[in-house]
Amino acid sequence: MYEAFRGDYFFILIPTFGQTQTLDPVEQVFRRAERVTVSRYNVPDPAESSYFSVSMTFEGYNILNIQDLTQLKAQDILAVDLVYSLYPLEKKFDTLNLNRLISLHALFPTIFVKTNVTWRLVGQHFPQTRTEAQSLFHGFYIYYLPMAEIPRLNGYNTDPNPENLSLLRREDVYHMLETNYLPPDSTVYRVLRRNALNWEK
């Protein structure tokens, strides 16, 4: 506490510490997620994209296929779409969608702390009746890049010693990715993995 005098006035200056509050991961995702409106959610062709659906009910936030989420633990998550219906139009959906994110976080918290995952809230405005709204998908589409998609080449350098691996040799890079030689959360690992499919074969 500090005291300050100015003429006939007496001031007490109280310094503040730690008043900046940090949002929890769910709130951070909810705030930064891109808001998108579509007629109906367009599910990509499975032959072109790798994804997993997390189903929920029209008005609820309980996950219906909890047991299936275990297969996502080892995947490199690229993007998450929270899909819902904008019915009725006059209703506010923030609370419901926030609860849906909380439900996903309870089962899959690590995805919320990865800053390079793209998040979207996708509202479907097609339904004009409750029955139409109930017929649409509600929940999450989680997109990932499985290791199986990384091209396999002959001539891997299988010696794990750092001096025998080179980032300049494409086959060594693929080997690092497939054998998890680099830590999965390292920046180098993610950059290499993200661009591996775009390199000239």
Domain coverage including residue 48: 25-146
Residues 178 and 193 both lie in one domain: yes
pTM: 0.64
Residues 112 and 193 both lie in one domain: no
Residue 17: pLDDT band (50, 70, 90) is very low
Residues 140 and 154 both lie in one domain: no
The answer to the question of residue 117 being in a domain is yes
Residues 70 and 164 both lie in one domain: no
pLDDT in tens, 103-143: 999 999 999 999 889 999 999 999 999 999 999 999 999 99
Residues 46 and 109 both lie in one domain: yes
pLDDT in tens, 57-102: 999 999 999 888 888 877 889 999 999 999 998 889 999 999 999 9
Q: Which of 114, 130, 146 marks a domain boundary?
A: 146
Residues 176 and 189 both lie in one domain: yes
Residues 116 and 174 both lie in one domain: no
What is the number of structural domains in the chain?
Answer: 2
Residues 53 and 102 both lie in one domain: yes
DSSP character string of the chain:
-EEEEETTEEEEE----S--PPPPHHHHHHHHSEEEEESS--PPPTTT--EEEEE--SS----S-GGGGGGGTTSEEEEEEEEEE--STTS--HHHHHHHHHHHHHH-GGGGG-TT-EEEEEEE----SHHHHHHS--EEEEEEE-GGGSPP-S-------GGG--TTSHHHHHHHHHTT-S-TTSHHHHHHHHHGGGS--
Residues 105 and 75 both lie in one domain: yes
Residues 156 and 180 both lie in one domain: yes
